[in-house]
Chain A
């Protein structure tokens, strides 16, 4: 048989490409479930790391099942908000937003469709939101955790697909970079809510601490730092109305009682305890709905008081 004829060559290449494509399609389909489970556990461990429940290495050592258990134990609620800060829908507690889903929402933020911005609130009040954007070589993303009802960052974890090892990859690998987010404030009411400053962020004149919303960029990774800053500004900018709405000032008008006597669920959870429920309120209304899970802020203090009285 003449293996060099045109017809043979065309048929041969067609057959081999179809066979290879079929093999890859079958393998890809059959492994998809496992891969998604791995990605989900990885995403969850990143969120837990940001929220300060442990380090990424610890979660990695725990294994997928233990990470999912830990998350189920700590998560209070998850929901989707729109750019006006209004809650659109509840999310099932076992659903997280992996990078591929964030990518879709990132397109939506640029105007493709209505963005669905996920918010994850843990039982200790810490709120975690994702960010996503373009680094130098590929996407960068991360999860930023905020102190309860505050614009103060509790912690952050970032990841990337293919930033340069030793330079841009430091957004993930350098613990000092991620730690520099802790305690920073995001100024949601300003046009420029957060800055990653090349060449050193301005410092406080006295104690040399970082100024509210500015941190140092990574040396030698200008493009990655800028990409990450854009990702943070785009996403946190979209969350601005949610966070401004959740801030103590806007909750206060509804009165202190809002937390302690059958108020809106949302208001209670996002109000800091000191503002919404004085210990007196708690004692008075305890037993009604103060100690229910929906009124997280009063739960501990008032229940103790009640037990003592009895």
Chain B
């Protein structure tokens, strides 16, 4: 694998993470991180949507009329989001989780990461790198989601993936952790840690 492709994949995971560095997709990362299971399904959904819409739009990039390109992007992204939602609703294992995520699956379409990567990357690159870029950005988003959800589920419900892990300590769940403000505090801490490690992000 050549260096550029590797950079395309690794950059969104840490150095250019869509949530902690670009500060995109904050809304849903506060809303769907109460449980790990919800965060995992959301992360996978976003990976699928960003990956495949980037792929489709990259394939179409030379044919799209410039004046209506945003609308064409929206149509494709909306189609992907609806497909993901329909598929989640169709399986026993994911039906309940889809109900729990309710509007947030549909709101993937408004997630700036999706449109941002299409506009910034997919429309100017070949399909394969575009697909990888979409997947990697989705994965970078999903990784932060899972980190936040890990702490929120552990401290807020005393469970991980629904399995009771703190019960034997007599742990009393903290209700603040369940509420969105705590997710913002936690996100702030993650940004703090990342900036401490990655010095070039610090302003002079």
Contact = CB atoms under 8 A, between A and B. Distances in A.
B72 A13 contact: yes
B64 A12 contact: yes
A28 B89 CA distance: 11
B5 interface: no
A53 interface: no
A142 to B, nearest CB: 14
A63 B92 contact: yes
Interface residues of A, number: 26
Interface of B: 31, 34, 62-68, 71-72, 75-76, 78-79, 82-83, 86-87, 89-92, 95-96, 99, 102-103, 178-180
Given A20-B79, A38-B92, A161 B102 contact: yes
A161 B106 CA distance: 13
11 contacts: A4-B65, A9-B67, A9-B68, A20-B75, A23-B79, A23-B83, A31-B86, A38-B89, A41-B92, A42-B99, A162-B103
A128 to B, nearest CB: 20
A35 B65 contact: no
A24 B85 CA distance: 11
A9 B64 CA distance: 8
Given A12-B63, A162-B103, A64 B76 contact: no
B101 to A, nearest CB: 10
Nearest to A56: B96
A35 B90 contact: yes
Interface string A145-163: 0000000000000000110
B65 A12 contact: yes
Contacts of A35: 86, 89-90
Given A9-B68, A24-B82, A34-B90, 11 more contacts: A3-B62, A9-B65, A12-B63, A12-B68, A13-B71, A16-B72, A23-B79, A24-B83, A27-B86, A31-B86, A38-B89
Contacts of B102: 161-162
Contacts of B31: 165
A56 to B, nearest CB: 9
A91 interface: no
B196 to A, nearest CB: 32
Contacts of A161: 102
A62 to B, nearest CB: 11
Given A24-B83, A34-B90, A161-B102, A17 B68 contact: no
Nearest to B78: A20
B149 to A, nearest CB: 14
A8 interface: yes
Contacts of A9: 65, 67-68
A64 B96 CA distance: 11
A27 B65 CA distance: 28
Contacts of B68: 9, 12-13
A54 interface: no
A135 B55 CA distance: 40
A42 B98 CA distance: 12
A166 interface: yes
A292 interface: no
Interface in A17-45: 17, 20, 23-24, 27-28, 31, 34-35, 38, 41-42
B90 A31 contact: yes
Nearest to B66: A4
A60 interface: yes
Contacts of A64: 92
B167 to A, nearest CB: 15
Given A12-B68, A60-B96, A161-B102, A17 B90 contact: no
Contacts of B83: 23-24, 27
Contact of A166 (B72, B75, B78, B179): B179
B53 to A, nearest CB: 12
A236 B168 CA distance: 44
Contacts of B91: 34, 38
Nearest to B83: A27
Contact of A3 (B63, B79, B86, B90): B63
Contacts of B79: 20, 23-24
Contacts of A16: 72, 75-76
A165 B175 CA distance: 13
A20 B103 CA distance: 21
B65 A31 contact: no
7 A-B pairs closest in CB distance: A34-B90, A38-B95, A9-B65, A31-B90, A20-B79, A35-B89, A3-B65
